[in-house]
Amino acid sequence: SQTIHQWPATLVQPVGSPLSLECTVEGTSNPNLYWYRQAAGRGLQLLFYSVGIGQISSEVPQNLSASRPQDRQFILSSKKLLLSDSGFYLCAWRYYRWTGDEGDTQYFGPGTRLTVL
Amino acid sequence: AQKVTQAQTEISVVEKEDVTLDCVYETRDTTYYLFWYKQPPSGELVFLIRRNSFDEQNEISGRYSWNFQKSTSSFNFTITASQVVDSAVYFCALWTKAAGNKLTFGGGTRVLVKP
């Protein structure tokens, strides 16, 4: 079976500090990977997605970046955090398919709660 | 463009009452999928159901049931005999071919079940 891990679970960082959040998936190969952010009391905002190693698509221009150094590893980074970066960050994966049924379910990790002070 | 609307931001019920969550979607695609997710206080999104646009059969899973009506572009979710553990935020989501890899989420409905 597949599992998705995120760490850290919680993080408190000062404004201007760097950020690195990690997401890993087990039990599947070449998954599509996603980073979402959820501000307090708000809906989900897609930040980045990746269909393969080194392939990153950005949805929202901001001071965040994403990287995929390995097949099942997805990293969210920032060089200098802003107050507005506070939120709940969720990683998700889905099966990658060349053709056919593409409306596959996205499965989410446990999330990282980030507070920027 | 794709859009999902969950008009109810918060619903409060007493335990054992039924609760229905509305989801209305917009898309021009004829092939699409609809999803419901549950987000309990712990934060993780838990997948509940996936339905494709060619399958209009309603579905029941325990106390959960879903009513898919293409004529009104709705995919409503009912919890029967609600329990305190049902307290969570519920999200409806839409995938279409035009959107490629992305899911379009509704704003979510917070359900509070009081004992």
Res. B36: pLDDT tops 80: yes
pLDDT of B16: 97
Q: Residue B88 corresponds to which tokens in the numbers above?
A: 């969570």
B64 contacts chain A (CB < 8 A): no
**pLDDT at residue A61 above 80?**
no
Asked if B4 reaches chain A (Cβ–Cβ under 8 Å), the answer is no
What pLDDT band is residue A60 in, cutting at 50, 70 and 90? Answer: confident
Task: Quickly state the pLDDT bin for B47 (edges 50, 70, 90).
Answer: very high
The DSSP-derived string for B28-75 is S-SSEEEEEEEE-TT---EEEEEEETT----EEETTEEEEEEGGGTEE
Mean pLDDT score of chain B: 94
Query: Is 60 exceeded by the pLDDT of residue A100?
Result: no
Distances (CA, A) of A17 to A37, A72, B99: 19, 26, 34
Give the chain B residue nearest A102 (alpha carbons).
B97
CA distance A31 to A25: 8
Mean predicted lDDT score pLDDT of chain A: 91
* Chain B residues closer than 8 Å to A89 by CB: none
CB atoms within 10 A of CB A28: 17
Amino acid A117: pLDDT: 96
Average pLDDT over residues A17-46: 92
Distance of CA B48 to the CA centre of its chain: 8
The CA angle B3-B8-B12, to the nearest 5 degrees, is 150
CA–CA separation, A36 vs B88, rounded Å? Answer: 19
At A37 the pLDDT is: 95
Q: What is the mean pLDDT of residues B39-67?
A: 92
CB contact under 8 A, B43 and A57: no
Task: Identify which of B32, B44, B103 has the shortest CB distance to residue A111.
Answer: B44
